[in-house]
Amino acid sequence: MPNGFNARHKFSLKTCNGCHARETNTGFTHVGPTGALSPFLATGVANMFTPYNVTDPVSGLVRPFYEIRDRAQHLDSAANQSCVFRSFDRLSASPH
């Protein structure tokens, strides 16, 4: 798979219409008016180690997402690690 597909995916995922549409295969909101979660989030709530798989809209590559697991790890790191260790954290894959 050419690197251009990964660059396109990462760039698109950082945009509103990428994250909240084709890149995650969701409607524009991940939480509906009744509080229902999109499959993108709900999959991780049931089991944080079960990926939510999305077929890339351009390359056709199946991309696994572990959104709830990743958010839990970042929250745990922020709450329980010293600033010295936090400097080694990976950057979040999503802007929010």
The pLDDT profile of the chain, 96 residues, written as one tens digit per residue, is 456 788 888 888 888 888 888 888 888 888 889 999 888 888 988 888 999 999 998 889 999 999 889 888 888 888 887 776 656 666 555 555
Structure confidence at residue 54 (pLDDT)? 93
What is the C-alpha to C-alpha distance for residues 51 and 12, in angstroms, rounded to an integer?
Answer: 20
Question: What predicted TM-score, i.e. pTM, was given to this entire model?
Answer: 0.72
Structure confidence at residue 13 (pLDDT)? 84
4 half-sphere exposure, CB direction, 13 A CA radius: 3
User: Where do the structural domains in the chain lie, given as residue ranges?
Assistant: 3-86
Structure confidence at residue 41 (pLDDT)? 87
What is the C-alpha to C-alpha distance for residues 67 and 87, in angstroms, rounded to an integer?
Answer: 21
